[in-house]
Structures are given as structure tokens and as C-alpha cells.
Structure 1
């Protein structure tokens, strides 16, 4: 059990910087090149307002991170099993957060940025189903904000990678918690019968 608690804690410690990174990246998406005028004028891609990184990969991911890190504070056998069941629930919350972050980031990437083109403010890549990602020569269609395509693509790819890592970590703890929640009572009964 100590090994599984130690494993869960290490997973929680890995989740913590990932969730903070997700929050930071989402905040950077709101302010292209550090400029606040575009958020004030509502000139950001519509999916950015769903806060995939801030809510899903960030704040929601802090729940499993804190739960995993604080596992094993009580030394009672049955409480350890209940604690591992709680970590399973936290892992499920983390999985949902990671999936939400991944889906919103993916849709934002496919939609492309809202930018000023020769035809005015629009989504010049929205109908391309992501093909623009492999055609960097077309990115110059966005005249303002300067470098918005590169900015969005880079940050959204970071969010996608963070979401995948968070998903894997929560999935590992889900498996760890389920195995220990099921097996620990059985082990306890066997230990009790051997001591009797």
C-alpha cells in the first residue's frame, strides 16, 4: 500500500506543474503578444472563451493533484481503502478535465484565429478543417494581430500536449486506485486470518 500511495503522490506532484502551465497558456491566449486591446474588443477566437486550459486542464486538474499529494495521511487500513476510492473519484474528475481541455484546444486549432484580413475581421481558416496548419505560407492572410497564427498554433499545441499528459497521469492513478481499493480489503482479511 505504501508503494501505491507513494506512486499516487508522485503523480500528484507531476500534475501540479502541468495544471499551472495549462492556466498560464490559456491566459496567454487571451492576450496575443501581450496586447489587451483584442480581448477588450472581443477579437479572439470564439472557442478561447470556453477556457479549455484554464478550467479543464488547470483549475479542475488541481483537484486530483491535491488529492493525490495528500494521500496516506491516515494509517488505518480501512481508511486507506476509502482514501484510494477517493483518489479514483479525483482521477475521474481529472480525466474529464483533460478531455475537456483537449477537445476545446482541438476545436480552437481547427477553427483558426479571428484576425483582420484584407476583407476585415473574420476567421480566414475556419472552412479549411485544419489544412492551414500545414500551409504556413497562408498565415500572412492575418494582418492583425501580428503573428497571431503562430501565437495560437504554438500555445494550442502546448495545451494539447499538456492535456494528453494529464490524461495519462489520471488514467495511471485510476488504475492504481481501483486495484488498491479492491485488493486492500482482501489482503487485510488474509493477514487477519494468518494472525489468528
Structure 2
């Protein structure tokens, strides 16, 4: 069992480093979503022109900052030459659980963003145009047959911002995928931290 402290350290470092790119990716995607269609007009009037799920900051705070805290801590305790203890490994479980919660938040918000669709200047069949969330199905958003995601012809009715539907689908999907990977990595680290609590001596220098 003498190899367990070194193994848990290596695993912590690997998971910490692996989380970094997904945190950065989630933060960048959330920032990009503030500029739908690469337009800055939504920033000037976020209440009427911004997709609501963007303002929830699922990618920035959830899959970004909260998971980044877990990534930094696990990376640091896994560095060679650092002291490790059962308490530090126990703390790793708590902080990794925080990372799971953050990633779950990012996943839920991005899933809602995909299901509801963007806010845009929509051209109705009658010829009327209005800023609205045209694809939102409050009670039936899980009905894939009615989802706008599988009806690309309807996307063109979003007149402004240009290409906003594709824009939102790409970046919300990226945050969702990133969040799923983060949940898996942070969950593995929680198990790794548990093994560390069991097999790590009171204070060990690697």
C-alpha cells in the first residue's frame, strides 16, 4: 500500500491539469454568448435582446470559476515535493464536490439554453417582427419532434442578430459537453481523494 500516496498524488495532478482547458473553454464560450452573432448591440440592452440563459453565467461561474478552483487545488496538492495529508485529501473531496456542483450548474443552464433557443428579432408568418424567444416550449421542450434544433428552416426567421441560432447552438453545446467531462473528472477525483484519506499517512512529503 506504500504506492497509494504517490498514485493519488499523480491522479490529483493529472485531473487538475486536465480540467484547466475545459474551464477556459467554458468561460470563453459564455463570454462569446454575450455577443450574439458577433454583435455588441445585445450588451446595450440585455433585458430585451439577450438570451436569458446567457445571463445565468453557467459557463462562466459554474463550469468556469467553480471548477477552476477545484482544478487549481488538485493540481497543487499533486505537485512533486509538496506535503500531503489526510486532511488535504479530504479537503480535495469537498472542493471536487464543489466542482461537480459548478459543472452541473453549467450543464443545466446550457441545456436550457439549447432547449429554449435564443432571443432574437423574429419574423412571424404574418409578417410581423418582434424581439422574442420564438422556439421556447415551456411544457414540451423535451419533445424532440417539435424542437427547433431539428427544424433548420425556422432558424432563418431570426432576422437579428445574424446567425444567432447557430451561434447559440455551437457555444451552448460546447459548454454542455465541457460540463459533462468536468463532472466525470471531478467525480473521479472525489474517489481518488477518498482513497487518499484512507491510505495517506498523517503527513507525507512526495
Structure 2 unaligned segments of length 5 or more: list them.
124-128
Higher fraction of strand: 2
Equivalent of 1:4, from 5, 8, 11?
A: 8
2:37 alignment partner in structure 1: 33
Alignment of 1:1-196 (within 5 A): 1-42=5-46, 43-72=49-78, 74-75=82-83, 79-118=84-123, 119-127=129-137, 129=141, 131-184=147-200
How many angstroms does 1:62 deviate by? 1.2
**Where does structure 1 differ by over 6 angstroms across 4 or more consecutive aligned residues?**
none
What's the secondary structure of 1:124's corresponding residue? coil
The higher-RCO structure (CA 8 Å, 6+ apart) is 2
Higher fraction of helix: 1
Structure 1 unaligned segments of length 5 or more: list them.
189-196
1:191 alignment partner in structure 2: none
2:126 alignment partner in structure 1: none
How many angstroms does 1:179 deviate by? 1.8
User: Which has the higher mean CA deviation after the structures are superposed, 15-24 or 123-132?
Assistant: 123-132
Task: Show CA shifts across 1:91-115 (max 9, x none).
Answer: 1010000000000111111111000
**Alpha-carbon separation, structure 2, partners of 1:17 and 1:46:** 26
**Alpha-carbon separation, structure 1, partners of 2:82 and 2:17:** 19
**Alpha-carbon separation, structure 2, partners of 1:10 and 1:185:** 21
Q: How many residues align?
A: 184
How many angstroms does 1:185 deviate by? 5.2
User: Which has the higher mean CA deviation after the structures are superposed, 31-40 or 82-91?
Assistant: 31-40
Task: Show CA shifts across 1:5-49 (max 9, x none).
Answer: 011101000111111111000000001232211121221111210
Q: Would the aligned equivalents of 1:124 and 1:141 in 2 still touch at CA under 8 Å?
A: no
Q: Would the aligned equivalents of 1:105 and 1:156 in 2 still touch at CA under 8 Å?
A: yes
Q: Would the aligned equivalents of 1:74 and 1:80 in 2 still touch at CA under 8 Å?
A: no
User: Which has the higher mean CA deviation after the structures are superposed, 1-10 or 120-129?
Assistant: 120-129
TM-score by length of 2: 0.84
What's the secondary structure of 1:143's corresponding residue? strand
